[in-house]
Structure 1
Amino acid sequence: MSNHPVEMFQYHTWANQTIMGRIKELPASVLSQEINSSFPTLAHALSHIYAVDTMWYKVLTGTGMREAFQECMSLNVSILHSVDEYANNFAQLSEQYREWFQSEADLEQTVLLDNPFAGIRKTRLSEIVLQVANHGTYHRGNISTMLRQLGHASVMNDYAFFWYQEAAESV
């Protein structure tokens, strides 16, 4: 039986790599090309996903949400110069998540979140992992729209497409 939150994180990692792979195929200038959209540039969108992924990792590993949020605020505006830099940062963070999953973390453990935007709530660690994947999906949709607005096709990165990629790799 598969661990659904971990599988969703694997999908999140795959989908991030997939969309960054598409951006790598385009002229390097596309990363910083300004556009009137959800984010001013693709780089800003990638920085935001990375910052939030990092914040949630800190929460999962014991940092309070308010503190984690404060620690990661600078990542949200830290714009990198190449897709390779983003890909490397995401790969390193994904490895940290994988190590945490393998450390036999109890995903059904509850923690008290003190969310600066929504208040206090008890939640399971598994719900946080699902939030990471869901947040990434939302913003990869923004990136796909931004690519189209910039005159470029995006790439299929739906969860259902991930199922088929996994099946092809296991054959």
Structure 2
Amino acid sequence: MNYPVKMYEYHVWANQAIFNRLLELPGELYNQKITSIFPTVSEALIHIYTADLGWINILSGMDMKQALTEAFQLREELESISLEDLNLRFIELSERFTAFLGQNPDLERIIRLDNPYAGIRDTRLSEIILHVVNHGTYHRGNIAAMMRQLGSSSAMTDYAFFWYQSEPELVLPK
């Protein structure tokens, strides 16, 4: 098993679980103001999306400063679209990641990041993939807490729950 790829599959599954739950709830919850880490659930999702977009652009060879600038400039547009449309954007973005990973890149290959906020660092592609997953997990936790504050439950997005949703059922010998 390619662990970073499996973890990215989990990230996609967990994001979709959040979208599926939000699509079941009253539409106003998506943009309802709340005192939390983000002012709305929509802004938390947009943050996950723009970070993922920046990282796939970096993985595809774009300079980090340019990738961050392009992702940040997209925020205003994303703030004006519906939950359904943002869900489609997430799906399209996951297809970009899947295509990249499907090219079987050497995920242990090292690239140089020139982070305008933190400096220069040599980083493995696998570390970037795992960072994308970890970052998403962290902010999905924020979203789960925000949804509770807004009076709704969230979706189960634990990695262990993913095992049971994504793995074929094992048939044990009798």
TM over 0.5: yes
Match of 2:139?
139
Match of 1:71?
70
Correspondence 1:49 to 2:38: no
Runs of 4+ in 1 over 6 A off after TM superposition: none
- Cα separation, 1, equivalents of 2:18 and 2:157: 7
Gaps of 5+ in 1: none
Offset of residue 103 of structure 1: 1.3
Superposed CA offset, 1:83-135 (max 9, x none): 21111000000001111111121111100011122111000001000000000
Offset of residue 169 of structure 1: 7.1
**Corresponding residue pairs, total:** 170
> What percentage of aligned pairs have identical amino acids?
50
Match of 1:106?
106
Contact 1:50 1:76 survives alignment (8 Å) = no
Q: How does 1:20-59 map to 2 (within 5 A)?
A: 20-59=19-58
Whichever residue aligns with residue 109 of structure 1, its letter is R
State the TM-score, normalizing by the size of structure 2. 0.93
State the TM-score, normalizing by the size of structure 1. 0.95
Match of 1:161?
161
Match of 2:152?
152
Secondary structure of the residue aligned to 1:140 is helix
- Cα separation, 2, equivalents of 1:51 and 1:147: 21
Whichever residue aligns with residue 156 of structure 2, its letter is M
Correspondence 1:86 to 2:86: yes
Match of 1:15?
14
